[in-house]
Amino acid sequence: NTTISGGTLAITGSGQLNSGTYSSSITVSSGAIFTWSSSANQTFTNLAAGAGTINLNGSSGTVTISGDQEFTGTLNVAQSVIVTGGSNNVNTGLGKSDVININNGGTITVSGLLNNVFIGTTSATVDLTINSGGVLTTSSNNSDTPETMHLRPQTLTLAGGTLAWAGTRSSLWGTWNLGVDINVTQDSTISANNLTINKNPLSLNVAANKTLTISGTIVSQTEASGCGCDSNALSVNGGGGSYTGTVVLSGSNTYKGATNVVQGVLRVTNSSALGGTTNGTTVSDGAALELSGGITVGAEALTLNGTGISSNGALRNFLGTNTYQGAITQTLASRINADSGTTLTLDVASGNAITGTYNLTLGGAGNITVADPIATSTGTLTKDGAGTLTLSGTNTYTGITTISAGTLKISADNNLGTAPVSAVATQITLNGGTLNTTASFTLNSNRGITLGASHGTINT
């Protein structure tokens, strides 16, 4: 056995321990440092104990770690490291390390016949950071035995790093068990599949002006003993504070819980990105749900609050021609926007497209079609932006309709909502936009038309 009580023990050049396979224990006491910077390959079957610091930063070569690890200090990885061997060992991996930093050039690869790998245990508080250029991945080709990566550190920070699966997977194999919020400080990627929501809610917290892209699939935790955990929610920037960045979901997700966009942006680029439709999606005031890439989102109930970020829409059509088929409920005055060159269609299978008792604005330089009724009670409807808004439902809102920019297309009187029982001079207000009728009909005589300071146009 080797004990480092103080100072630094460094293995450099092309040095090895015991010809490349070292099975005795290495104890790195608190305040001591063990640095591996050799270019040679090395296997440790019992890497270390103690609470010091281990630096694995060889310029080439691979360090392989197997067996139970009792080390509780700081591990810094800047080279290829393979964690392998064992079965159902709660410490297999690096479960007891107090701090794990995967730095530029560093990769921790989980390989071999491991049923369960833990980074962070129920009794240990681990701070795991994957910095820019760092990767935490698996490359086992075991297609028969279920294998789970349990990520439940005290904190998990992606600072430009990557979580990824590699190798062959069966339908039973390959799960990342996420039991801690993910904090993202630099643009980062998660390409792993079967990301399991093992916390309620699981929050993806992304720093301002940064993006977390998740191309893998997100699934629900398996229900057990009435725990309700198969409905654990997914939260975007639920950590509050400066977490106002963007989360991009591009996988076909199946998680059953609610999706809550608390701050920042949730951008979906897959029709099934929001998972199951049972519990719906809520966008908080000042946040945004963005649709991108030519998708059709199914019957996902959507609750909107506010006008989004910089008034670009709490629901924003970001890129392409997209359709949203879920019923929308306003709990604050809200805005729906379509960006230039894009088209958004709101088309529910049955019932009302939009409900609530608040004012509604539809705008942007792109085009929007609302195919089903807008039932916002006494709320007003405002069309702004250079694009075209087409209303084709039998709308029941009773507030005034204002066209301040772009074009509003209608084909029937009731597209403008329920007509007032007595004349209202401002029921239709033109203030810079165009009202375009696409069919012959009689406008209710109680719908007064008022020209604002910017005037307007009526095309029939």
- Position 129 pLDDT exceeds 60: yes
φ/ψ (deg, to 5) at 430: -100, 120
Peptide linkage before 373 cis (omega within 30 of 0): no
Span 366-390, mean pLDDT?
A: 98
Q: What are 399's two structure tokens?
A: 């507030």
Across the range 135-149, mean pLDDT stands at 58
Per residue in 341-357, pLDDT tens? 999 999 999 999 999 99
Average pLDDT in the 127-143 region? 74
User: Three-state SS for 352?
Assistant: coil
Q: 3-state SS string over 223-259?
A: CCCCCCHHHCCEEECCCCCCCCCEEEECCCCCCCCCE
More confident residue, 299 or 22: 299
Higher-confidence residue of 362 and 44: namely 362
Mean pLDDT for 215-227 is 78
Q: pLDDT tier at 266 (50, 70, 90 boundaries)?
A: very high
- Token readout for 68 is 């139970």
Spatial contact of 335 and 357, defined as CB atoms under 8 Å apart: no
Structure tokens at 204: 């993806």
For residue 364, which of 395, 380, 341 has the smallest C-alpha distance?
A: 341
Going by pLDDT thresholds of 50, 70 and 90, the confidence category of residue 130 is confident
pTM: 0.90
Dihedral sign, CA of 53, 56, 58, 63?
positive
Q: Give CA–CA dist 438/432, Å, rounded.
A: 20
Looking at this protein, which amino acid is placed at residue 385? G
Place 370 in a pLDDT band, splitting at 50, 70 and 90: very high
- Per-residue pLDDT reduced to its tens digit, 312-336: 999 999 999 999 999 999 999 999 9
Tens-digit pLDDT profile for residues 414-447 = 999 999 999 999 999 999 999 999 999 999 999 9
Section 390-407 average pLDDT: 98
Selected residue with higher pLDDT from 451 and 85? 451
pLDDT at residue 339 tops 80: yes
Share of the chain above pLDDT 70, in %: 87
Dihedral sign computed on CA atoms, order 49, 47, 129, 230: negative
How confident is the model at residue 243, as a pLDDT?
93
Q: Which residue, chain included where needed, has tokens 């609750």?
A: 303
pLDDT for the residue numbered 250: 97
Quick check: 169 pLDDT over 60? no
At 320, the amino acid letter reads G
pLDDT digits (tens, 9 = 90+) for 14-66: 988 888 998 888 899 999 999 999 999 999 887 778 889 999 999 889 998 87
Residue-level pLDDT at 113: 47
Residue 150 banded pLDDT, cuts 50, 70, 90: low
Confidence band (pLDDT; 50, 70, 90) for 265? very high
